[in-house]
Chain A
Amino acid sequence: MTVLLTLFDLLLTLTLLGLAVVTLTSHEPRRAVILFIAFGLLLALVWARLRAPDLALAEAAIGAGLSGALMLAAARRASGRKTSAAQSRDAEDAP
């Protein structure tokens, strides 16, 4: 029981830290936001493990869901602006 719990703790923390590193080092905005949502869901699992089910529910609904949706809208706006800027630059480059 104790060994299993220890293994679970190690797996959870290593996955959480690896997901944080991948999230913070991704260049594309949309990919970063989707990875951040996955990070929030894993954090909800961590809080269920640490005997805080209320925090787990709040994190999954608000922290991952709501802020993820807001950031996804912002990332879509940013990528659309980037592509439109690239299109206008291509139009300027064209003879």
Chain B
Amino acid sequence: MTDQLLYAQLLYGGSGIILVLLGLWSFLVHAPLLRKLIAINVMGAGVFLILVAIAYRGIDTPPDPIPHALVLTGIVVAVSATALALAFGKRLDQDAEPE
């Protein structure tokens, strides 16, 4: 039972770490704004996955609610930041058009 819990936490937490590294690599390598935004969103998904894997306590016990609250807030903040960055990019494109 404990082995199963440890295995699930390691699997999902390791996936979260790999997602963070993939997103960081893509953010540093690719130039366009939309690809950078997708990379940042994938990085955030990796962080959320690490937190939820830490909160997981087995298939039949309730998980830790505090990381869940943090992740729920983080999803909303990530979408807001994405919308703000897209608005900035649109305005930059409008300023770059009439050259």
Measured CB to CB, the residues of A under 8 A from B are 2, 5-6, 9-10, 13, 16-17, 20-21, 23-25, 29, 32-33, 36, 39-40, 43, 46-47, 50-52, 54-55, 58-59, 62-63, 66-67, 70-71, 73-75, 77-78, 81
Contacts of B76 in A (CB 8 A): 58, 62
Do residues A24 and B15 form an inter-chain contact, with CB atoms below 8 A?
Answer: no
Partner of A67, one of B39, B48, B59, B79: B79
- Taking the closest CB of chain A, its distance from the CB of B31, in whole angstroms, is 11
CB contact under 8 A between A70 and B82, given known A5-B59, A17-B19, A32-B34: yes
Q: How far is the CA of A59 from the CA of B26 in the complex (A)?
A: 22
Partner of B7, one of A6, A66, A77: A6
Do residues B42 and A13 form an inter-chain contact, with CB atoms below 8 A?
Answer: no
Closest to A78 in B: B34
